[in-house]
Every structure is written in C-alpha cells, then in structure tokens.
C-alpha cells in the first residue's frame, strides 16, 4: 500500500538528525546537488539515528546492515540551500526495521527527497541477523508510534517486513 507524500510540516515533525548548508562542491554539471550527495546526507542522518537509538553502548556487539532502499527525488536542491534530514520509523520485527528518511529543503519549505529503507540488526561477531537489544527495541517502538502520530507512512508499497513462518 502506497501512502501519500507527507507535507513539509508532517515530515518536519520526525526525528531531526542534522541541518546543513549545501556547499559548492556538491553541485554537478546540471547546476544542482548531485545524487551521490543525497545518499551521503541520508547515510549521515541514519548513522546519527543509529547512535541515538543506543547502539553506542552495544558497540562491537550489534550493528545494523542495509537490506533494501528506495529513493525518490521530488525537488531540486541548489548550492546555498539549507537542508535537514528527518527520520521516521515505520515498523519492525524482532530483527529488522522499516524506516523512511526525508531531505527537507528549509530554504524553500519543500520535501526534496525521500529514502525508504529496510535494515537488519546484526550480531557483529557472527555477522548474522540477531534480535534487537531490549533497550533499542523499546526506543524503536516509541519512534514507530511517533511516526504514525505524525501521519507518515510508507511511500512505495514494495518494502515489507517479513516474519518467520510459524512452525
């Protein structure tokens, strides 16, 4: 099921990772920010989210691996524009997370880009999926509720969390 793109105000309610003014070196031959920098900004925002979820105390034991991503470009971002990254959490299983990140153009008050993703919690010793530690699971549940309260849902309808079949 595909949800409508959230308004700027709805996306702005989500967890804010950081703000940045787009520097000249992000510009490409088309006169706007190159796509690789969208990925870089979302990646930086998701690492910030990773730390805020509490992975720090679990350093070396647990981490999260990207499983799938879908990116949508909605508006141009130009050098000198101020942007922010906002992360929403859409759902989880015991080991996987479905989320979405928005690049908001604060200079134009527009949702410029979305980055929907699936990630898996991983035991860094075995390099295999593992249950979320209890403290991280509790924070994720609170953030899933906050994302739903903001009226933000999945955009693409193709990413879904799978649970193991009952035996």
For residue 2, tell me if it sits in a domain.
no
For residue 12, tell me if it sits in a domain.
no
For residue 115, tell me if it sits in a domain.
yes
Look at residue 37 in the predicted model and tell me its pLDDT: 97
For residue 121, tell me if it sits in a domain.
yes
Look at residue 58 in the predicted model and tell me its pLDDT: 83
Look at residue 167 in the predicted model and tell me its pLDDT: 41
**Concatenated DSSP letters for the chain?**
-PPPPPPHHHHHTSEEEEEEEPPGGGB-TTSSB-HHHHHHHHHHHHHHHHIIIIIGGGTTTEEEEEEEEEEEE-S---TT-EEEEEEEEEEE-SSEEEEEEEEEETTTTEEEEEEEEEEEEEETTTTEE-PPPHHHHHHHHHHHHHHHHTT---SSS------PPP-
Range of the domain at 123: 18-149
For residue 28, tell me if it sits in a domain.
yes
Look at residue 161 in the predicted model and tell me its pLDDT: 86
* 113/159: higher pLDDT: 113
Look at residue 40 in the predicted model and tell me its pLDDT: 96
Domains identified in the chain, total number: 1
For residue 8, tell me if it sits in a domain.
no
pLDDT digits (tens, 9 = 90+) for 37-91: 999 999 999 999 988 898 887 878 999 999 999 999 999 999 999 999 999 999 9
Which two three-digit tokens encode residue 132?
A: 């979320």
Q: What is the CATH number of the domain that holds 77?
A: 3.10.129.10
For residue 155, tell me if it sits in a domain.
no
For residue 158, tell me if it sits in a domain.
no
Q: What angle do CA 138, 143, 145 make, to 5 degrees?
A: 100
Query: How far is the C-alpha of 136 from the C-alpha of 138, rounded, in Å?
Result: 5
């Amino acid at each position: 099921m595909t949800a409508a793109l959230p308004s700027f105000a709805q996306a702005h309610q989500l967890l804010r990772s950081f703000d940045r003014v787009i520097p000249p070196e992000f510009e490409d031959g088309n006169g706007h920010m190159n796509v690789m920098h969208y990925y870089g900004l979302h990646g930086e925002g998701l690492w910030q989210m990773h730390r805020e979820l509490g992975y720090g105390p679990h350093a070396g034991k647990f981490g999260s691996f990207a499983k799938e991503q879908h990116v949508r470009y909605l508006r141009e971002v130009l050098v000198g524009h101020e942007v922010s990254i906002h992360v929403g959490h859409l759902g989880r299983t015991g080991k996987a997370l479905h989320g979405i990140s928005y690049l908001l153009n604060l200079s134009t008050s527009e949702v410029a880009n979305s980055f929907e993703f699936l990630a898996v919690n991983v035991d860094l010793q075995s390099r295999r999926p593992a249950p979320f530690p209890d403290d991280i699971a509790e924070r994720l549940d609170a953030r899933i509720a906050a994302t739903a309260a903001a009226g933000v849902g999945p955009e693409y309808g193709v990413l879904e969390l799978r649970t193991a079949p009952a035996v």
